[in-house]
């Protein structure tokens, strides 16, 4: 068991600790030791739950319970594609087990943007999993997270278009964070845009933050016709403010912690 909290990006790939990380990670992958938590997404107009985001975690006793470490090591070991597919499989399995596949709620499944340039995304594996567990494609949202560098932008956008043609919805995650820019929105034509929690935190106390936030919401609505989700809402004041600024849906501890 590994419990050290370490910046994996700075570790020598040939070091003993990296060998330990690799051994534990491969054990997790081979034995499918991925758990899934779900966090509701709420309509700010009606208060209804409109979807659930699936959040993948490693074993509770491991450093890989933290998804940052889990995906960082996967990328370093060139096993990101394998982990990504396992997380999708587990998300769909556990959502079905919890009876979250209703007609009125959407299931948000995270996919690393870099994985959209891998070959298996054009083989219908995700669609097969969804159909196996009785989900409808139009209730599935593929939430694109840019954890690692996209090496082939053209193939990335082509694969997004392929998914959309199949009937999946696309969400761009973490708009406003360091990695996610406006280029993704303009090229990807997402149905949903999720604004990063860094812009939501204490937004009620910052007029500058509110101005930037309002500009993003208006652009998403008027130019791209996207539904806007505010992530990481934790206080009543934050909730009131983002609602006044025109956000459609909200997500955060104020509604529910992941379960």
This prediction's pTM: 0.91
Q: Each residue's pLDDT tens digit in the chain (259 positions)? A: 344 444 555 666 666 777 888 999 999 999 999 999 999 999 999 999 999 999 999 999 899 999 999 999 998 899 999 999 999 999 999 999 999 988 889 999 999 988 888 766 666 888 899 999 989 999 999 999 887 777 788 899 999 999 999 999 999 998 877 655 677 788 889 999 999 999 999 999 999 999 999 999 999 999 999 999 999 999 999 999 999 999 999 999 999 999 9
3-state secondary structure of 54: strand
Alpha-carbon 180 to chain mean position: 12
What is the span of the domain harbouring residue 113? 8-190
In a domain, 60, yes or no: yes
> How many folded domains does the chain comprise?
1
In a domain, 49, yes or no: yes
Which CATH number fits the domain that encloses residue 41?
Answer: 3.20.20.450
Kindly report the length of the chain.
259
- CA-to-CA separations, 93 to 31, 35, 39, 106, 238, in angstroms, rounded: 15, 10, 16, 15, 34
């Amino acid at each position: 068991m590994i419990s050290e909290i370490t910046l994996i990006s700075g570790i020598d790939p040939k070091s003993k600790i990296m060998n330990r990380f690799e051994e534990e990670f491969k054990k997790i992958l081979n034995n499918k030791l991925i758990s899934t938590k779900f966090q509701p997404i709420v309509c700010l107009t009606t208060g209804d739950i409109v979807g659930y985001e699936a959040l993948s975690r490693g074993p509770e006793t491991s450093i890989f319970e933290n998804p940052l470490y889990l995906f960082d090591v996967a990328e370093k070991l060139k096993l990101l594609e394998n982990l990504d597919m396992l997380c999708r499989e587990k998300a769909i399995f556990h959502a079905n087990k919890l009876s979250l596949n209703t007609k009125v709620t959407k299931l948000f499944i995270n996919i690393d943007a870099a994985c959209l340039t891998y070959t298996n995304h054009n083989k219908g594996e995700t669609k097969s999993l969804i159909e196996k567990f009785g989900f409808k494609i139009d209730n599935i949202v593929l939430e694109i997270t840019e954890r690692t560098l996209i090496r082939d932008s053209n193939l990335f956008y082509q694969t997004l278009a392929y998914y959309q043609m199949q009937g999946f919805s696309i969400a761009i995650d973490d708009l406003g964070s360091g990695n996610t820019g406006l280029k993704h929105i303009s090229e990807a034509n997402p149905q949903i845009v999720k604004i990063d929690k860094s812009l939501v935190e204490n937004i009620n106390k910052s007029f500058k933050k509110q101005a930037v936030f309002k500009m993003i919401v208006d652009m998403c609505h008027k130019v791209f016709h996207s539904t806007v989700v505010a992530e990481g809402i934790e206080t009543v004041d934050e909730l009131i403010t983002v609602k006044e600024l025109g956000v459609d849906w909200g997500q955060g501890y104020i509604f529910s912690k992941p379960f």
